[in-house]
Amino acid sequence: MTKSLFSIVSVAAASALALAGCAEPPATTTPGGETTAAVETTTEESPTAGETSPAASESTDTAAADFSACMVSDAGGFEDKSFNETAHNGMMRAKEELGITTNQIESNAESEYAGNVQAMIDANCDIVITVGFALANATEAAAKQNPETKFAIVDYGSFEGVDNAKGLLFNAAQPAFMAGYLAAGMSQTGTVGTFGGANYPTVSIFMDGFHEGVNHYNQEKGADVKVIGWDEAKQDGQFIGGNNPFGDIPGGKNTANTLIAQGADILLPVAGPAGIGALQAAQESGGKVNAIWVDSDGFESAPEYGPVIMTSVEKGMDVAVFEAIKSALDGTFTSEPYVGTLENGGVLLSEYHDFDSKIPEELKAEVEQVKEGIISGEIEITSPSQP
């Protein structure tokens, strides 16, 4: 989840995500795919394209091979099937397509954030990407102290007065609104549910959009589908809580089962890896309960649960990370924040995959109309957590 977002973070908020343990040492990946303990630069020859001279091509290749993009995860790690993994995919795309070197380090606790960012600076990284609002304080401090290094942070805005750091934000309320409309149209019990890991704006933005989408369906159809787990007016609802709210899979399952017991047959978990617990609960329902994933396309990132994932509310963090790296490499980097929307493709509702034949064509068309209405401004989303 996101995290940013939106200029609310404190280290105290980050502590809710902390996990015990020590960080792994940085792992560097060269364009050739080798992994070493420190950054290496490798020059590779590229075929001449168009009218580019061999000398110019060689110069470009050398510049890319001498360029290092580095990433620091939050406590979820790079295999969280969610936002860390998606952001990491963007850096791996840059390595493959641009020929740069890469370096990465996983964080296991809040106390490691500043040190891990510094480790990337010490490794002579040209751009450091930090993943998640929990790293905002560490990122801002490092950017101020190292003006020659570029920084980008996923799910947080740009820092005022800091020219070498770029925020990467996503209006997840928009596709979540579409998901809410879809869920309302597919519910057999007339009750859908959502829950989060902890009550942060990067979490509640999904829940707001989902809630508003259900309400829009009710208004359009004269229906009375209920949303449990979130009260948008009060900005409060059902959360896993505890010391590890985004990593507690059993806690996610228990929370999901609580909503299922109250009649919810479609769930939107906004809890990172802990949301897997909701997928487990849906899988064990014998076809009575399904889910909508967030951040990544769950059908692809968690394929073992594909049969219960109706769709996903995606954030294009991989695209945003790739573009930030590319701009740092080609000299067009600015501190202007990136905001992903339905209009620019930075957020989206995933394909329906196994549910494509189960969702009525009329409902699919209505969901597309909702998308068009959001883009045109005809449909107004009121979530206070929007960037």
C-alpha separations of 354 from 187, 299, 300, 305 in Å: 17, 9, 12, 11
Query: Which pLDDT score is estimated for 14?
Result: 37
Helix axes 113-122, 136-145, angle to 10 degrees: 30
> Would you call 290 exposed, middle or buried from its count of C-beta atoms within 10 A (0-12, 13-18, 19+)?
buried
Contacts of 342-345 with C-beta under 8 Å, sequence gap 24+, read 342/171, 342/174, 342/175, 342/371, 342/374, 342/375, 343/375, 345/316, 345/319
Could you list the beta-strand ranges (E) of the chain.
27-29, 35-36, 68-72, 101-105, 127-131, 150-154, 165-170, 191-196, 226-228, 230-231, 236-237, 266-270, 290-295, 309-315, 338-340, 347-349
Over residues 170-187, the pLDDT tens digits come to 999 999 999 999 999 999
Q: Rounded distance, CA 156 to CA 7, Å? A: 7
What residue ranges of the chain have pLDDT lower than 70?
1-61
DSSP state string for 229-288: SEETTTTEE-B--SS-TTT-HHHHHHHHHHHHHTT--EEEEESGGGGHHHHHHHHTTTSS
- HSE at residue 199, side-chain half, CA atoms within 13 A, is 10
Q: Rounded distance, CA 331 to CA 308, Å? A: 44
Considering only the C-alpha atoms of the chain, give the largest distance between any 2 of them, rounded to a whole number of Å.
68
Over residues 264-292, the pLDDT tens digits come to 999 999 998 999 999 999 999 999 999 99
Q: Rounded distance, CA 296 to CA 293, Å? A: 7
Query: Which pLDDT score is estimated for 277?
Result: 98
Q: Rounded distance, CA 216 to CA 210, Å? A: 10
The residue length of the chain stands at 387
- Picking from 244, 248, 2, 223, the residue whose alpha carbon sits closest to that of residue 110 is 244
Helix axes 173-186, 201-221, angle to 10 degrees: 40
C-alpha separations of 204 from 56, 200, 237, 259 in Å: 49, 6, 9, 17
Domains and CATH numbers, the chain: 11-171+319-340 (3.40.50.2300), 173-315+347-376 (3.40.50.2300)
Q: Rounded distance, CA 164 to CA 159, Å? A: 9
> Which residue's entry shows tokens 């996903």?
312
C-alpha separations of 58 from 43, 46, 62, 203, 233 in Å: 9, 7, 6, 46, 59
Q: Give phi and psi for 15, each to the nearest 5.
A: -65, -25
- Picking from 20, 70, 61, 23, the residue whose alpha carbon sits closest to that of residue 42 is 61
Indicate the pTM of the whole model. Answer: 0.80
- Alpha-carbon torsion 347, 348, 350, 351, what sign? negative
Query: Which pLDDT score is estimated for 119?
Result: 96
The answer to whether 291 and 282 have CB atoms below 8 angstroms apart is: yes
Over residues 16-66, the pLDDT tens digits come to 333 333 344 445 444 434 333 333 333 334 444 444 444 444 555 677 889
- Picking from 11, 285, 331, the residue whose alpha carbon sits closest to that of residue 141 is 11
> Which residue's entry shows tokens 């390595």?
95
Q: Rounded distance, CA 268 to CA 194, Å? A: 5
Q: Rounded distance, CA 113 to CA 203, Å? A: 21
